[in-house]
Amino acid sequence: MAAEDGESGGVEARRDRLMEGLRAFGADYTEFTRRFASWLGLHSTDAAALAEVLYAEDQGKPLSPARLSERISLSSGATTALLNRLEAAGHITRSREHTDRRVVTLRSSPEVKPLAERFFGPYAERMAAEMARYSEERLAEFEEFLDHLRTTMDALLADEYSGLAPGSRPSSGGS
């Protein structure tokens, strides 16, 4: 066994631990979003959509309903119903800010922003503190790694799992 494989249990064991860490972080983030939903009295899908609207807005790239639909994997009809619920609850607004007046822009309401900042503030602070422990070069490596994983997952979903109906099975590749 090579020296670099000794303590870690080998490259395969390290990959397994990384995949488990990513799976666990994803599960924790899902639980975090579920608690945000509960805190606001929303269904978890509605809260996940609201979180996407808030995040996109914070990035200076507000979403359209179509883009939100892609990000939360809902049909356009289901997304419309969800947006109607969020708008009726006073959590989002829809406006026509684009030069093409057909394009709808989703914004969080002024009432929900302070609530979201209160809920997500500790998360943002802890994540920033954790990332501050790493060099810019190491963060760039993490970013590249995650970009590659996302590209792989996006391709897998598009190639192997697109159009699966409830109860159907993905192709095995050999049939």
The 10 Å Cβ neighbour count of residue 74 is 17
At residue 1, the pLDDT reads 45
Long-range contacts, 59-63 (Cβ 8 Å, 24+): 62/97, 62/105, 62/106, 62/107, 63/105, 63/106
Interval 91-110: pLDDT, tens: 999 988 777 767 899 999 99
- Residue 161 — very low, low, confident or very high, per pLDDT cuts 50/70/90? confident
Interval 35-84: pLDDT, tens: 999 999 999 999 999 999 999 999 999 999 999 999 998 888 999 999 99
Domains (range + CATH), the chain: 25-134 (1.10.10.10)
Interval 12-26: pLDDT, tens: 999 999 999 999 999
For all residues of the chain together, what is the average pLDDT? 88
DSSP 165: P
Token pair recorded at residue 151: 């590209």
Residue entry with tokens 């095995």: 172
pLDDT at 7 over 90: no
